[in-house]
Amino acid sequence: AQSVTQLGSHVSVSEGALVLLRCNYSSSVPPYLFWYVQYPNQGLQLLLKYTSAATLVKGINGFEAEFKKSETSFHLTKPSAHMSDAAEYFCAVTHVQSSASKIIFGSGTRLSIRP
Amino acid sequence: NAGVTQTPKFRVLKTGQSMTLLCAQDMNHEYMYWYRQDPGMGLRLIHYSVGEGTTAKGEVPDGYNVSRLKKQNFLLGLESAAPSQTSVYFCASSLTPAGQFFGPGTRLTVL
Protein backbone atom coordinates (compact mmCIF):
# COMPACT_ATOMS: atom_id res chain seq x y z
CA ALA A 1 0.00 0.00 0.00
CA GLN A 2 1.09 3.55 -0.64
CA SER A 3 0.65 6.64 1.49
CA VAL A 4 1.84 10.22 1.70
CA THR A 5 2.37 12.37 4.77
CA GLN A 6 2.87 16.10 4.55
CA LEU A 7 4.38 17.48 7.73
CA GLY A 8 2.79 20.77 8.69
CA SER A 9 -0.59 21.86 7.44
CA HIS A 10 0.57 25.49 7.45
CA VAL A 11 4.02 26.94 6.84
CA SER A 12 4.83 30.65 7.03
CA VAL A 13 8.09 32.19 5.78
CA SER A 14 9.33 35.69 5.12
CA GLU A 15 9.70 36.98 1.58
CA GLY A 16 13.20 36.08 0.38
CA ALA A 17 13.60 33.23 2.88
CA LEU A 18 14.06 29.55 2.10
CA VAL A 19 10.89 27.56 1.50
CA LEU A 20 10.89 23.94 2.72
CA LEU A 21 7.74 21.83 2.50
CA ARG A 22 8.07 18.29 3.77
CA CYS A 23 6.68 15.13 2.24
CA ASN A 24 7.31 11.55 3.31
CA TYR A 25 5.96 8.60 1.42
CA SER A 26 5.40 4.93 1.95
CA SER A 27 5.54 2.54 -0.99
CA SER A 28 6.37 -1.14 -1.38
CA VAL A 29 7.48 -0.58 -4.99
CA PRO A 30 9.54 2.17 -6.62
CA PRO A 31 7.38 5.28 -6.56
CA TYR A 32 6.56 8.12 -8.84
CA LEU A 33 6.26 11.32 -6.77
CA PHE A 34 4.67 14.65 -7.55
CA TRP A 35 4.21 18.11 -6.15
CA TYR A 36 1.16 20.12 -7.14
CA VAL A 37 0.32 23.73 -6.32
CA GLN A 38 -3.18 25.12 -5.89
CA TYR A 39 -3.80 28.85 -5.93
CA PRO A 40 -7.01 30.16 -4.35
CA ASN A 41 -10.13 29.15 -6.25
CA GLN A 42 -8.17 27.27 -8.89
CA GLY A 43 -7.40 23.68 -9.78
CA LEU A 44 -4.13 21.89 -9.10
CA GLN A 45 -1.11 22.60 -11.27
CA LEU A 46 1.80 20.19 -11.59
CA LEU A 47 4.98 21.74 -10.16
CA LEU A 48 7.36 18.84 -10.71
CA LYS A 49 7.56 15.05 -10.76
CA TYR A 50 10.05 12.30 -10.02
CA THR A 51 9.82 9.23 -12.25
CA SER A 52 13.01 7.30 -11.40
CA ALA A 53 15.50 9.41 -13.35
CA ALA A 54 17.55 12.13 -11.61
CA THR A 55 16.91 12.31 -7.88
CA LEU A 56 17.00 16.12 -7.89
CA VAL A 57 14.04 17.37 -9.85
CA LYS A 58 13.60 20.94 -10.97
CA GLY A 59 10.15 22.33 -11.54
CA ILE A 60 8.40 25.52 -12.46
CA ASN A 61 8.67 28.84 -10.59
CA GLY A 62 12.12 28.02 -9.14
CA PHE A 63 10.99 25.03 -7.06
CA GLU A 64 12.90 21.79 -6.80
CA ALA A 65 12.61 18.55 -4.88
CA GLU A 66 15.02 15.79 -4.00
CA PHE A 67 14.06 12.13 -3.87
CA LYS A 68 15.78 10.44 -0.93
CA LYS A 69 15.05 6.74 -0.88
CA SER A 70 16.85 6.14 2.43
CA GLU A 71 14.65 8.74 4.13
CA THR A 72 11.50 7.99 2.06
CA SER A 73 11.23 11.72 1.51
CA PHE A 74 10.50 14.10 -1.34
CA HIS A 75 10.74 17.55 0.20
CA LEU A 76 10.00 20.65 -1.86
CA THR A 77 12.34 23.64 -1.66
CA LYS A 78 12.79 27.10 -3.11
CA PRO A 79 15.81 29.23 -2.19
CA SER A 80 13.99 32.55 -1.99
CA ALA A 81 10.26 32.90 -1.36
CA HIS A 82 8.17 35.33 -3.35
CA MET A 83 4.78 36.71 -2.41
CA SER A 84 3.29 34.93 -5.43
CA ASP A 85 4.27 31.56 -3.93
CA ALA A 86 1.46 31.80 -1.38
CA ALA A 87 -0.74 28.81 -2.16
CA GLU A 88 -1.53 25.27 -1.05
CA TYR A 89 0.89 22.54 -2.01
CA PHE A 90 0.09 18.86 -2.37
CA CYS A 91 2.47 15.92 -2.51
CA ALA A 92 1.26 12.78 -4.32
CA VAL A 93 2.55 9.26 -4.95
CA THR A 94 1.91 6.51 -7.45
CA HIS A 95 4.06 3.89 -9.16
CA VAL A 96 4.85 2.91 -12.72
CA GLN A 97 2.60 -0.14 -12.76
CA SER A 98 -0.23 1.55 -10.96
CA SER A 99 -3.80 1.41 -12.07
CA ALA A 100 -5.42 4.79 -12.38
CA SER A 101 -6.90 4.60 -8.90
CA LYS A 102 -3.61 4.29 -7.10
CA ILE A 103 -2.62 7.97 -7.00
CA ILE A 104 -2.55 9.07 -3.39
CA PHE A 105 -2.55 12.74 -2.40
CA GLY A 106 -1.34 14.21 0.87
CA SER A 107 -3.60 16.46 2.88
CA GLY A 108 -1.79 19.60 1.72
CA THR A 109 0.39 22.34 3.19
CA ARG A 110 -0.68 25.95 3.03
CA LEU A 111 2.25 28.27 2.42
CA SER A 112 2.00 31.87 3.60
CA ILE A 113 4.59 34.53 2.77
CA ARG A 114 5.24 37.41 5.19
CA PRO A 115 6.29 40.75 3.66
CA ASN B 1 -6.02 24.36 -26.43
CA ALA B 2 -8.33 24.80 -23.43
CA GLY B 3 -6.95 21.85 -21.41
CA VAL B 4 -9.50 20.59 -18.89
CA THR B 5 -12.73 22.53 -18.47
CA GLN B 6 -15.56 22.03 -15.99
CA THR B 7 -19.19 23.11 -16.11
CA PRO B 8 -20.68 24.68 -14.02
CA LYS B 9 -18.27 26.61 -11.80
CA PHE B 10 -20.74 27.00 -8.93
CA ARG B 11 -24.00 25.32 -8.00
CA VAL B 12 -26.38 25.31 -5.05
CA LEU B 13 -28.73 22.35 -4.66
CA LYS B 14 -31.42 21.39 -2.19
CA THR B 15 -31.25 17.99 -0.53
CA GLY B 16 -32.67 15.34 -2.84
CA GLN B 17 -32.12 17.25 -6.08
CA SER B 18 -30.05 15.80 -8.87
CA MET B 19 -27.42 17.31 -11.11
CA THR B 20 -24.66 16.48 -13.56
CA LEU B 21 -21.18 17.96 -13.64
CA LEU B 22 -19.48 18.03 -17.03
CA CYS B 23 -15.74 17.66 -17.59
CA ALA B 24 -14.20 18.11 -21.03
CA GLN B 25 -10.58 17.75 -22.19
CA ASP B 26 -9.05 18.51 -25.57
CA MET B 27 -5.69 16.75 -25.07
CA ASN B 28 -6.82 13.33 -26.32
CA HIS B 29 -6.09 11.82 -22.89
CA GLU B 30 -7.21 8.28 -22.16
CA TYR B 31 -7.49 8.65 -18.38
CA MET B 32 -10.02 10.90 -16.69
CA TYR B 33 -10.82 11.33 -12.99
CA TRP B 34 -13.27 12.96 -10.62
CA TYR B 35 -12.05 14.06 -7.19
CA ARG B 36 -13.63 15.88 -4.31
CA GLN B 37 -11.65 18.23 -2.10
CA ASP B 38 -12.64 18.89 1.47
CA PRO B 39 -10.73 20.98 4.04
CA GLY B 40 -7.82 19.11 5.63
CA MET B 41 -8.45 15.95 3.59
CA GLY B 42 -6.59 16.55 0.35
CA LEU B 43 -8.17 15.11 -2.78
CA ARG B 44 -10.15 11.91 -2.71
CA LEU B 45 -10.87 9.96 -5.87
CA ILE B 46 -14.56 9.40 -6.59
CA HIS B 47 -14.54 7.60 -9.95
CA TYR B 48 -12.18 7.30 -12.83
CA SER B 49 -12.04 6.10 -16.44
CA VAL B 50 -9.22 4.46 -18.35
CA GLY B 51 -10.81 5.04 -21.75
CA GLU B 52 -14.00 5.74 -23.67
CA GLY B 53 -16.85 3.57 -22.46
CA THR B 54 -15.11 2.51 -19.23
CA THR B 55 -15.57 3.65 -15.64
CA ALA B 56 -14.38 2.41 -12.27
CA LYS B 57 -14.89 3.24 -8.61
CA GLY B 58 -12.36 5.20 -6.63
CA GLU B 59 -12.01 5.79 -2.91
CA VAL B 60 -15.38 7.48 -2.24
CA PRO B 61 -17.88 6.43 -4.96
CA ASP B 62 -21.10 6.21 -2.92
CA GLY B 63 -23.81 8.62 -4.02
CA TYR B 64 -22.18 9.35 -7.38
CA ASN B 65 -22.39 7.90 -10.88
CA VAL B 66 -20.28 8.61 -13.94
CA SER B 67 -20.32 8.09 -17.68
CA ARG B 68 -17.67 8.31 -20.41
CA LEU B 69 -19.60 8.05 -23.66
CA LYS B 70 -17.07 10.17 -25.54
CA LYS B 71 -13.32 10.16 -24.99
CA GLN B 72 -13.19 13.88 -24.35
CA ASN B 73 -16.05 14.04 -21.82
CA PHE B 74 -16.48 12.61 -18.33
CA LEU B 75 -19.77 13.26 -16.53
CA LEU B 76 -20.34 13.07 -12.79
CA GLY B 77 -23.91 12.65 -11.59
CA LEU B 78 -25.54 13.10 -8.22
CA GLU B 79 -28.92 11.39 -8.25
CA SER B 80 -30.11 12.58 -4.84
CA ALA B 81 -27.86 15.23 -3.36
CA ALA B 82 -27.04 15.22 0.35
CA PRO B 83 -25.39 17.92 2.51
CA SER B 84 -22.37 15.60 2.91
CA GLN B 85 -21.73 16.10 -0.81
CA THR B 86 -21.03 19.79 -0.31
CA SER B 87 -17.50 20.07 -1.62
CA VAL B 88 -15.28 21.31 -4.40
CA TYR B 89 -15.15 18.85 -7.28
CA PHE B 90 -12.16 18.57 -9.57
CA CYS B 91 -11.85 16.76 -12.83
CA ALA B 92 -8.45 15.67 -14.15
CA SER B 93 -7.09 13.90 -17.21
CA SER B 94 -3.81 12.28 -18.18
CA LEU B 95 -2.08 10.19 -20.85
CA THR B 96 -0.96 7.71 -18.18
CA PRO B 97 -1.79 7.43 -14.45
CA ALA B 98 1.17 9.72 -13.74
CA GLY B 99 1.02 13.50 -14.10
CA GLN B 100 -2.60 14.58 -14.18
CA PHE B 101 -3.92 17.87 -15.55
CA PHE B 102 -6.66 19.40 -13.44
CA GLY B 103 -9.69 21.50 -14.27
CA PRO B 104 -10.58 24.69 -12.36
CA GLY B 105 -13.14 23.01 -10.11
CA THR B 106 -16.86 23.17 -9.36
CA ARG B 107 -17.98 24.46 -5.97
CA LEU B 108 -21.14 22.62 -4.95
CA THR B 109 -23.28 23.46 -1.93
CA VAL B 110 -26.12 21.18 -0.87
CA LEU B 111 -28.61 22.77 1.53
Q: Between chains, do A103 and B45 touch, taking CB under 8 Å as contact? A: yes
Residue-wise pLDDT tens digits, A48-57: 999 877 899 9
Pairing of strands B87-94, A109-114: unpaired
Q: Between chains, do B58 and A43 touch, taking CB under 8 Å as contact? A: no
Residue numbers of chain B with a pLDDT score lower than 50: none
Sequence-separated (6 or more) residues with CB below 8 Å from residue B77: B18, B19, B20, B21, B64, B65, B66, B67
Confidence of residue A90 (pLDDT cuts 50, 70, 90): very high
Q: Between chains, do A103 and B100 touch, taking CB under 8 Å as contact? A: yes
CA dist., res. B86 & res. A37, Å (int):
23
Distance to chain B for A80, nearest Cα, Å: 26
In chain A, residues with a C-beta closer than 8 Å to the C-beta of B2 are none
In chain A, residues with a C-beta closer than 8 Å to the C-beta of B88 are none
Sequence-separated (6 or more) residues with CB below 8 Å from residue B56: A100, A101, B47, B48, B49, B50
Chain A 12-71, residues with CB within 8 Å of chain B CB atoms: 32, 34, 36, 41-46, 49, 51
Residue A101's pLDDT is 62
Residue-wise pLDDT tens digits, A25-83: 998 888 889 999 999 888 899 999 998 778 999 999 999 999 999 999 999 999 999 99
CB-closest option in B41, B58, B105 to A43: B105
Distance to chain B for A5, nearest Cα, Å: 11
Q: Is the dihedral of CA A11, A62, B100, A32 positive or negative?
A: negative
How big is the A-B interface in CB pairs under 8 Å?
A: 63
Q: SS3 string of chain A? A: CCEEEEECCEEEEECCCCEEEEEEEECCCCEEEEEEEECCCCCEEEEEEECCCCCEEECHHHCEEEEECCCCEEEEEECCCCHHHCEEEEEEEEECCCCHHHCEECCCEEEEEEC
Q: Which residue has the higher pLDDT, A104 or B18?
A: B18
Pairing of strands A109-114, A10-14: parallel
Q: Between chains, do B104 and A98 touch, taking CB under 8 Å as contact? A: no
| Cα-based angle A100, A102, A108 (whole degrees, multiple of 5) | 115
